[in-house]
Structure 1
Amino acid sequence: MTTSPALSVLDLVPVRTEQSSAQALASSMALVERADALGYERYWFAEHHNMAAVAASTPPVMIAAATARTSRIRVGSGGVMLPNHAPLVVAEQFAALEALAPGRIDLGIGRAPGSDPVVTALLRSSGPTSDVDRFPDHVQNIQSLMSPDGARLRLTDGKVYDVHATPAADSAPTLWLLGSSDYSARLAAELGLPYVFANHFSGAGMDQVLALYRDGYSPSAEHPEPRTFLTVNAVVAPTRDEAHERALPQLRAMARLRTGKPMGRSETVEEALATPLDGLGQQMIEDMRGRWLIATPDDAAAEIRRLADRHQVDEVMVVPVAGTYATEPLDATPGRVATLELLAEAMA
């Protein structure tokens, strides 16, 4: 176990009050450039739909843009919600990304729809995509399609048809399974794939799920040992007071989500401070504060090392959830930039 785990980033591309999606995307592109310069291991984009506070809806598009702005950091999806997409389309998109940035692409796959039932139905309205019940088959199909040998389909007339996501591919993206329950952990262990538990979303049962994954792991040619890392929501600032202020907009957004209240664009820090939530919402906020990383640089670095040691991982992926003050530029997120900069410096 290393004393200083590698650091990575998961970006939901937050959209705040009065900010356009274009401005939010611009701020995320600046953030991935900074993460690349700071030495972060990887940078993943999430997939969510029809959420005013989140502009991360098309990971492949954002990954392509990010690879053009970076030189060494791995870039990927955290994750592609496979039930929304045909496996061949996913394989082709990520094979093309691998061709654009060889050795730098991660394909993280999840089972959740990433939206509400209405939008989920719209995503699948053009025809059947990746049936949730066939998730294991589709994961393996994507593996085969992205491999140099491709996949072989047997047609109804008995003929065999060869399919390649990219003919004569020289390399393939690293495939990860993502989840917040034991289902994907069991499947990742069975297939010999890396696995990430979505601790930033729900930390319940993480130790048990990771133990299940490691204990049941079947070695594969690409991954002879189980491989996983920890995710955590993070706000790092020069002072404790600023860290807690910048954490408040996202804490309140998560409390509203979990109590079924309407959600718009993320609040500014000033808006969050001005309008307290009710008792249940406030209790949720206090519960989440204890699980999130909200700290000054030295305290944050110490907590990162403690988490890595406790959960036996050599990498920690932070979700920079620092909010923005009203006076800060609409096309930038200084709090998120500071979180990455201060944490990297303290961990060095």
Structure 2
Amino acid sequence: MISTMNEQNLRLSILDFVHVYKHSNPTESLNNTTEVVGLADQLGYTRYWFTEHHNTTSQISTSPDLLSVHAASHTKNIRVGAGGIMLPNHSPLKVVENFTLLEALHPGRIDLGIGRASGTDGLTALALQRSHERAIANDFPDQLNELLCFFSRKFPMDHPFAEISPPGDETLVPDIYMLGSSQGGVRFATEKGLGFVFAAHLAPKLAIPVLHFYKNNFNPSAYMKEPKSILAIGVIAAETEEEAKYLAGPLELTWTRMATGSRDLSFPTLEEASKYVYTPQEEAVRQYNKDRFVIGSAANVAEKLKRMANEALVNEIMIADFYPDQASRLKGYRLLAEEFDLKSK
């Protein structure tokens, strides 16, 4: 039986969607990210990842590799990377080339999280992949094998790509993680010996069993000798419970709208969320979504995150960033860094 983690060693990381708030613009959002990743570096957060989403006006995290270049160049210690690269949208060779360059620029600080979905709608996936066949293909296992073989330089001799040489050598490899919100991605992580991140904000009830499966079935590899697992969850931390609940209003309304098929998926303002009147159906969805997030005073959030980490057998929590504005983001991350004494780790 695997022992529980030591609460004193629990690490915190951040997953940035690069939200474009109402009455704001992409440039301001990117400036906000620069400020937050710099603060996270100073406060002792472990890693800072960027999502990949397309065809949305409320996020500008379309290129996590480019955002990682920017974040790494503005920090000194924190690991940066993709959470993740949606592999169906990309050539495995190009992903390897980009992350080899990142690893060469910032040795030992780069992470590559790999997702199996496109991170967008079907039409946009077609526009990205430029092929009807590619858009409907289910060849992720082949894509992942290609990516790992390009990194390791160990294609079978008769493979058509065996003669292709990415830049550098096999030492320029980031830490590689599979992303998952179901029982699918974890099997690639265990079989290939990769790290694993479970998105509990997408499937909270599956988090513990899937993360236990990962720890109990991990096969060591050239990429990772021991299992490395992370639990990702939406977090809103503030000085008081009341303030946190107020700050979580836009998050709760957004996720309720997504679940009920609303066409309005823009991130509402605090004022809009506070005045919104939920229908009975919407209120039921809102309550159902409670397990997707950890909302409260910094002390109570810290207590719950420690309990979740113990139950999930992880020593790292990745905070999915859904704060409603820049001021609450900065304050929330400072409060949690103090609660966890991150600078001492």
TM (norm. structure 2) is 0.91
2:87 aligned to which of 82, 86, 93: 82
Aligned: 1:29 with 2:34: yes
Query: Residue 7 of structure 1 aligns with which residue?
Result: 12
* Structure 2 CA distance for aligned equivalents of residues 315 and 335 of structure 1: 22
One-letter amino acid of the counterpart of residue 298, structure 1: A
CA contact (8 A) 2:257 2:265 kept: no
CA contact (8 A) 1:152 1:162 kept: no
One-letter amino acid of the counterpart of residue 123, structure 1: L
One-letter amino acid of the counterpart of residue 66, structure 1: A
Shift of 1:150: 6.0
Aligned: 1:145 with 2:150: yes
* Structure 1 CA distance for aligned equivalents of residues 252 and 147 of structure 2: 36
Deviation string for 1:256-305 (max 9, x for gaps)? 11111113431110111122232222222222234411111111111111
Query: Residue 199 of structure 1 aligns with which residue?
Result: 200
One-letter amino acid of the counterpart of residue 338, structure 2: E
Q: CA, structure 1 residues 347+132, in 2 after alignment: closer, same or farther (shift >3 Å)?
A: farther
| Correspondence list, 1:148-163, <5 A | 149=153, 151=155, 154=158, 161-163=162-164
* Structure 1 CA distance for aligned equivalents of residues 154 and 68 of structure 2: 23
2:328 aligned to which of 308, 311, 335: 335
CA contact (8 A) 1:45 1:77 kept: yes
* Structure 2 CA distance for aligned equivalents of residues 215 and 134 of structure 1: 27
SS at match of 1:205: helix
* Structure 2 CA distance for aligned equivalents of residues 310 and 140 of structure 1: 32
Amino-acid identity (%):
34
Shift of 1:164: 2.4
Deviation string for 1:216-244 (max 9, x for gaps)? 22222332322211111011111111111
* Structure 2 CA distance for aligned equivalents of residues 131 and 92 of structure 1: 25
* Structure 1 CA distance for aligned equivalents of residues 174 and 232 of structure 2: 21
Shift of 1:169: 5.4
Shift of 1:165: 2.2
SS at match of 2:80: strand
Aligned: 1:134 with 2:136: no
* Structure 2 CA distance for aligned equivalents of residues 60 and 314 of structure 1: 25
Query: Residue 17 of structure 1 aligns with which residue?
Result: 22
Aligned: 1:114 with 2:119: yes
Q: CA, structure 1 residues 111+335, in 2 after alignment: closer, same or farther (shift >3 Å)?
A: same
Q: CA, structure 1 residues 29+155, in 2 after alignment: closer, same or farther (shift >3 Å)?
A: same
* Structure 2 CA distance for aligned equivalents of residues 61 and 317 of structure 1: 21
CA contact (8 A) 1:43 1:74 kept: yes
Shift of 1:245: 0.9
* Structure 2 CA distance for aligned equivalents of residues 163 and 174 of structure 1: 22
One-letter amino acid of the counterpart of residue 124, structure 2: V
CA contact (8 A) 2:236 2:295 kept: yes
CA contact (8 A) 1:146 1:164 kept: no
Query: Residue 177 of structure 1 aligns with which residue?
Result: 178
One-letter amino acid of the counterpart of residue 165, structure 1: P
Q: CA, structure 1 residues 39+85, in 2 after alignment: closer, same or farther (shift >3 Å)?
A: same
Query: Residue 258 of structure 1 aligns with which residue?
Result: 259
* Structure 1 CA distance for aligned equivalents of residues 262 and 23 of structure 2: 20
Shift of 1:208: 2.1
CA contact (8 A) 1:78 1:108 kept: yes
Q: CA, structure 1 residues 307+316, in 2 after alignment: closer, same or farther (shift >3 Å)?
A: same
Q: CA, structure 1 residues 164+319, in 2 after alignment: closer, same or farther (shift >3 Å)?
A: same
Deviation string for 1:150-172 (max 9, x for gaps)? 6466477xxx8522221335421
* Structure 1 CA distance for aligned equivalents of residues 183 and 336 of structure 2: 31
Query: Residue 282 of structure 1 aligns with which residue?
Result: 283
* Structure 1 CA distance for aligned equivalents of residues 275 and 322 of structure 2: 19
Structure 1: which 5+ residue stretches go unaligned?
Answer: 325-332
Structure 2: which 5+ residue stretches go unaligned?
Answer: none
Runs of 4+ in structure 1 off by over 4 angstroms are 126-132, 150-153
Q: Which moved more, 1:276-285 or 1:123-132?
A: 123-132
CA contact (8 A) 2:12 2:319 kept: yes
SS at match of 1:342: helix
One-letter amino acid of the counterpart of residue 208, structure 2: D
SS at match of 1:204: helix
SS at match of 1:55: coil
One-letter amino acid of the counterpart of residue 29, structure 2: A
Query: Residue 330 of structure 1 aligns with which residue?
Result: none
Query: Residue 212 of structure 1 aligns with which residue?
Result: 213
